[in-house]
């Protein structure tokens, strides 16, 4: 399966290398198309070496290939991603100007198009750009909007290229919908969680050692946030208890921000009364320093020994009084994934464990994809590589199934 990655000329062009790597990790072949200006920022050779494919930039480059390149590539690709996209390429796309390879590829392809703009804040806000964005959106082009932040032009505002993982995540979602429309459509518009109150925990916890140091882990929060998004789309009322992450919580969720395992436990206890489904996706620290110092610890000549104590097991506590709630835990494993997950299911007393092998490249921490196995009392279902959003929907499908089974017994 092939994706074309268009790179246009702005300072964010170097981040396209991360987008390329992220796309490749999902198993797709990527052909990079650069505009002439993009080559002023990153050498085409960089993309060529990483993608393993020649980089296309000239419309009429001499070639032995008898095919018309922009047409053959337009027909081969499942998706055209343009990241970063300048104000100039957006204007050309909106008005059908085809004066170089990338703009010609855009009007030659019927594949979906995903655009991640990056530019100075005033250029982004300019009515001309905003009109072009609207035209493209109306035409079905998808956007990963630029983020607010400190820009290369030393101003602050909207215009910074979105995080590369976000671009890859959306790209994976679009490809998934294209290759298995049935499975993606299965949940589209489904409101099977209407009336459910779902409490989801996400992200890592941070256990302070002193005011400037602490113990945490690599959890990005993506999986828990994807479950929150999917549950909201399916009609649930969602409370998201989140540890410190770099993601924006879904606006429709009731978000409670916490830092430590103790704070997370408190927030879960407070939210539990009304909850009908509990999903414990957070990567809670198992240990915290016995003593958290109010002042920064000064170094001295000797070693420093930190004494750690166990944190509360939030999932196990919820399970002790779970009643007829559906309770889901996660198991991040590096070996004997299914055996360990089943042991956790029994030890903690939950209804479902979502297990993943965090040592795999495409699964686990800080990647947009996951490979999970759903372990319930009666079944073990190994799922293939998919976007975290799709994995979230499969988890919710299983929850709905478990709810039906338990109400049939009752
Ligand atoms: N969990 C929790 N409270 C903790 C530790 C873990 O609620 N203090 C939850 C996690 O959110 C996850 C499940 O328990 O849903 C399993 O977490 P994991 O870290 O994989 O397992 P542990 O029980 O901590 O066991 P181990 O670290 O030994 O594998």
Give the side-chain half-sphere CA count within 13 A for 14: 3
CATH topology of domain 2-179: Rossmann fold (3.40.50)
Residues near ligand 1 (Cβ within 6 A): 261, 280, 282, 284, 286, 311, 313-315, 329-332, 344
CA 214 / ligand 1 centre spacing (Å): 19
Model pLDDT, residue 228? 95
Q: Is 350 assigned a catalytic role?
A: no
Residue 114: name the closest of 174, 154, 199, 29 by CA: 174
107, two tokens: 């009007």
CA torsion through residues 7, 12, 17, 23, sign: negative
CA 349 / ligand 1 centre spacing (Å): 13
pLDDT tens digits for 299-319? 999 999 999 999 999 999 999
pLDDT reading at 71 higher than 70 = yes
- From 203, 315, 317, the mutation candidate for ligand 1 (largest count of ligand atoms within 8 A of CB) is 315
pLDDT tens digits for 195-237? 999 999 999 999 999 999 999 999 999 999 999 999 998 999 9
Task: Give percent of the chain above pLDDT 90.
Answer: 71
The lowest-confidence range among 77-81, 227-231, 234-238, 388-392 is 388-392
Q: Which atom of ligand 1 is nearest to the CA of 330?
A: 15
Query: Edge to edge, what strands does the sheet with 142-143 contain?
Result: 29-34, 2-7, 77-85, 113-117, 142-143
CA 260 / ligand 1 centre spacing (Å): 14
Q: Are strands 326-333 and 372-376 parallel, antiparallel or unpaired?
A: unpaired
Determine if residue 13 is left, alpha or beta; phi over 0 gives left, psi from -120 to 50 gives alpha, anything else beta.
alpha
Classify residue 361 as exposed, middle or buried by CB count within 10 Å of its CB (0-12, 13-18, 19+). Answer: exposed
pLDDT reading at 184 higher than 70 = no
Domain edges within the chain? 2-179, 190-295+305-409
Q: DSSP assignment, residue 163?
A: P
Burial pattern 247-262, b for ≥16 Cβ within 10 A else e, equals bebbeebebbebbbbe
pLDDT tens digits for 99-123? 999 999 999 999 999 999 999 999 9
- CA-CA distance, 181 to 395, in Å (whole number)? 18
- From 201, 344, 374, 395, the mutation candidate for ligand 1 (largest count of ligand atoms within 8 A of CB) is 344
CATH 3.40.50.2000 correct for 190-295+305-409: no
- C-alpha distances in angstroms, 242 versus 100, 102, 131? 46, 41, 36
Model pLDDT, residue 182? 55
61, two tokens: 């480059």
Model pLDDT, residue 55? 93
Radius of gyration, alpha carbons of the chain:
24
CA 305 / ligand 1 centre spacing (Å): 25
pLDDT reading at 179 higher than 70 = no
Contacts of 384 (CB under 8 A, 6+ apart): 371
Give me the residues paired with residue 3 across strands.
Answer: 30, 79
């Amino acid at each position: 399966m092939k994706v074309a990655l268009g790179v246009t000329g702005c300072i964010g062009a170097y981040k396209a290398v991360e987008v390329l790597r992220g796309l490749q990790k999902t198993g797709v072949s990527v052909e990079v198309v650069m505009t002439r200006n993009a080559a002023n920022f990153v050498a085409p050779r960089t993309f060529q070496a990483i993608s393993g494919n020649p980089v296309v930039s000239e419309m009429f480059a001499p070639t032995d290939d008898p095919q018309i390149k922009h047409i053959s590539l337009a027909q081969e690709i499942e998706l055209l991603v343009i990241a970063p996209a300048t104000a100039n390429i957006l204007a050309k796309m909106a008005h059908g100007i085809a004066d170089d390879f990338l703009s010609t590829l855009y009007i030659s392809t019927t594949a979906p198009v995903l655009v991640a703009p990056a530019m100075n804040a005033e250029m982004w806000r300019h009515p001309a750009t905003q009109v072009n964005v609207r035209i493209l959106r109306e035409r079905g082009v998808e956007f990963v909007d630029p983020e607010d932040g400190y820009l290369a032009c030393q101003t602050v505002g909207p215009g910074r290229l979105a995080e590369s993982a976000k671009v890859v995540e959306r790209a994976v979602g679009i490809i998934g919908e294209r290759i298995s429309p049935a499975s993606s459509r299965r949940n589209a518009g489904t409101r099977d969680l209407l009336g459910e109150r779902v409490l989801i925990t996400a992200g890592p916890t941070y256990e302070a050692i002193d005011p400037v140091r602490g113990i945490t882990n690599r959890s990005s929060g993506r999986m828990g946030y994807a479950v929150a998004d999917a549950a909201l789309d399916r009609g649930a009322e969602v409370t998201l208890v989140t540890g410190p992450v770099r993601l924006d919580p879904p606006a429709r969720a009731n978000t409670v921000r916490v830092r430590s395992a103790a704070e997370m436990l408190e927030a879960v206890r407070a939210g539990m009364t009304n909850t009908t489904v509990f999903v414990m996706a957070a990567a809670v620290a198992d240990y915290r320093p016995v003593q958290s110092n109010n002042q920064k610890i000064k170094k001295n000549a000797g070693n420093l020994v930190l004494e750690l104590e166990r944190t509360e097991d939030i999932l196990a506590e919820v399970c002790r009084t779970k009643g007829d709630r559906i309770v889901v835990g996660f198991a991040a494993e590096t070996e004997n994934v299914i055996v360990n997950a089943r042991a956790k299911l029994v030890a903690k007393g939950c209804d479902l464990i979502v297990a993943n092998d965090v040592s795999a490249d495409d699964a686990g921490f800080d990647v947009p994809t996951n490979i999970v196995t759903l372990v319930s009392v009666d079944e073990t279902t190994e799922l293939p590589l998919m976007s975290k959003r799709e994995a979230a929907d499969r988890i919710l499908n299983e929850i709905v199934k478990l709810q039906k089974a338990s109400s049939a017994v009752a």
